[in-house]
Structure 1
Amino acid sequence: MSKTVFLTGATGFVGGATLRCLVARNYTVIAALRNGSQLLQNKFSTINVDSIDGATSWKNGLTGVDVVIHAAARVHVMNDTETDPLAAFRRVNVEGTVNLARQAASAGVRRFIFISSIKVNGESTDLGVTYSPEDTPAPADPYGISKMEAEERLRELAVETGMEVVIIRPVLVYGPGVKANFQSMMRWLDKGIPLPFGAIHNRRSLVALDNLVDLIVTCINHPAAANQTFLVSDGEDLSTTQLLRKIALALGRTARLVPIPAGVLRGVATLLGRKALSNRLCGSLQVDISKTRSLLGWTPPVSADDALKATAQYFQESKKQ
């Protein structure tokens, strides 16, 4: 019998892809939408909420639900204009999450899947060193702190109520429709702009959108997922130089990469006030997904090369519209 799944964040990058996968696999889906948001309704139901915080009422959507997938969040943003960013993140990501989870437990929901972030582990690793789910959390910004606090509260609620909690911490997610820095890299490469990243010898774990969604859906039914925390990636760590070359190949372009040492790039970026960006481009962040593989018998179904081809194809088609 197909389970009934309640999904938040259904208009977002990860939530939207999860919704499409759930519908394709014939789950009964109830998607929560912010008032004013719209989705073409086909084979799923929706409810509307004004906002997500500690006072949100979810009672109209949780009756008869087996599993909640909570993908909605106040996301990490550059140049946050909030006077107290941590309080803003806590309002949505901590209080909003715990409020939903508590109402879900009261409604008899069996399992709560929380889409967290690798930022709970930290911002970077030394080359060749990997994060694991058992590491002591070391979030370095308000977004990561709020995700860590939400995880802690959810684990407490699981003990208190008996509702199973599954926590998934993705690394950088890419795929068709990706925005932000990843989209910018594709735009630069597509235009043939020379980039100073031809000698970056870091390693970064990434996760294709299809791989992340496959793991999320796997966690709906897998008995071993109960009350576990999982890291997720493509299982193929790439340097920034390798990634740019693969993206260029997927775009049918030649990557014009100038071999400037990473130390020089970091110094220039620091002078320009772009230290955080240089850390992402030059630093390493690697995760160990052996627990995800062994406990769930899960393997990323899509290779990085195939996922990058799909991402590049979507990017090129969107330029024509």
Structure 2
Amino acid sequence: MRVLLTGATGFVGRGLLERMSAQVNLELVAAVRGRPVPGLPEHVETLQIAGLDADTDWRKALDGVEVVIHSAARVHVMHDAASDPLAAFRNVNVEGTLSLARQAEKAGVRRFIFISSIKVNGEGTPVGMPYIADAQPAPVDHYGISKMEAEQGLRAIAAETELEIVIIRPTLVYGPGVKANFLSMMRWLHKGVPLPLGAIHNRRSLVALDNLVDLIMTCIDHPAAVNQTFLVSDGEDISTTELLRRMGAALGKPARLLPVPSWVLEVGAAMLGKRALSQRLCGSLQVDISKTRELLGWVPPISVDVALRKTAENFLEHQAQ
């Protein structure tokens, strides 16, 4: 089976590359921006692309391809300098995605797997009231809106053609090589920095990279995945406080957590203009993956603690400072 993977140098893309390049029954084409990925097996073909928008020509990449896994996207940008950020997100995440899907359908591609985002559902849930896959979308930020619009466009294409669409909405993805806030958290813990996060009683769903990759691989040829939307997590929801303690244990550095009430943190964050950070640290975001489990017979292959240990080992080997 010949598979095209976009976003092959991104965090999720690299995880997919590692797993898929080991599958001798897959003929993989990895679309990358910039320099090719070194160290890939000979049977993995890399193709450089200039960008992702409505004008990108995918004909060469799609030759003989049966399945497209589309993980490339314009993601959250700190201090976005675009004059119209929503238009910038739409240009890549909507127009670029739909152009690829239309070209894929014309080239005879059978299935198009779209890596979307839980931000299509929204930014948070009350404790015990998780998002479900088929609920009404309620995106808040430009990224979430663009992902929702891409999903809508893909469903329209599927309704008009024989192209099979599979949509996967991950929660926060972590694993070896993770960046951004998760990496900052590990650095704080490794340095023994006292954190005022010892009394947070929220619940958050996370997904280990290994678990997400496993689900994507399952969806390549599972007959029940056709034209479905799936949420994905590790199957265990944990609080910010619990995450820090378990991450500290994985790092061999017991977390130094001060029991500051969450409402104090929320007020302080609001005064500093950091409401979004407060929401991520103190708010809840849970997902119900029962549809994913039941329709696909899928079970997350690794636990939270195993995933945290793998993440910590990679951090200690490569990134600890």
Identify the TM-score tier after normalising by the shorter chain. Answer: over 0.9
Q: Who is 2:58 aligned against?
A: 58
- Equivalent residue, structure 2, for 1:215: 215
**Contact persistence 1:170–1:232 (CA under 8 A):** yes
Q: 2:3 aligns with which of 2, 5, 14?
A: 5
| 2:175 aligned with 1:170 | no
Alpha-carbon distance in structure 1 between the residues aligned to 2:114 and 2:198: 37
Task: Give distance in 2, aligned partners of 1:120 and 1:320.
Answer: 34
Provide the residue aligned with 1:102 in structure 2. Answer: 102
d(CA) in 2 for partners of 1:87, 1:135: 26
Residue 187 (str. 1) matches residue 187 (str. 2): yes
Normalising by structure 1, what TM-score?
0.98
Distance between the aligned counterparts of 1:309 and 1:168, measured in 2? 25
Q: How does 1:145-164 map to 2 (within 5 A)?
A: 145-164=145-164
Paired amino acid for 2:5: L
Q: Distance in 1 between matches of 2:262 and 2:184?
A: 20
The AA in structure 1 aligned to 2:27 is T
CA contact (8 A) 1:11 1:39 kept: no
Cα separation, 2, equivalents of 1:163 and 1:319: 42
Equivalences for 1:134-153 in 2 at 5 Å? 134-153=134-153
Q: Deviations over 1:269-299 (max 9, x none)?
A: 1111111001100000000000000000000
SS at match of 2:160: helix
* Structure 1 residues 62 and 186: alpha-carbon distance in aligned structure 2, compared to 1, 3 A threshold: same
Indicate the residue corresponding to 1:40 in structure 2: 39
**Residues 30-82 of structure 1: CA deviation (Å, up to 9, x unaligned):** 01112445443423001121110000000011111110000000011222121
Q: What is the match of residue 20 of structure 1?
A: 18
Gap runs ≥5 in structure 2? none
SS in 1 for 2:237: coil
Whole-angstrom CA distance in 2 between matches of 1:21 and 1:146: 28
Secondary structure at the aligned position of 1:47 is classed as strand
Find the aligned partners of 2:39 and 2:320 in 1 and give their Cα distance: 23
Which 4+ runs in 1 deviate beyond 6 A?
none
Paired residues of 2:9 and 2:32 also in contact (CA < 8 A): yes
One-letter amino acid of the structure 2 residue matched with residue 273 of structure 1? G
Partners of 2:35 and 2:316 in 1: CA distance: 29
Moved more, 121-130 or 40-49: 40-49
Aligned to 2:274: 274
- RMSD in angstroms over aligned alpha carbons? 1.1
Contact 2:187-2:320 at 8 Å conserved across structures:
no
2:126 aligns with 126
**Number of aligned positions between the proteins:** 319
In the alignment, the residues of structure 1 paired with residue 39 and residue 85 of structure 2 have an alpha-carbon distance, to the nearest angstrom, of 33
| Matched residue, 1:230 | 230
Q: Which residue of 1 aligns with 2:115?
A: 115
Q: Deviations over 1:281-321 (max 9, x none)?
A: 00000000000000000000010000000000000001479
The runs of 5 or more residues in structure 1 that have no matched partner are none
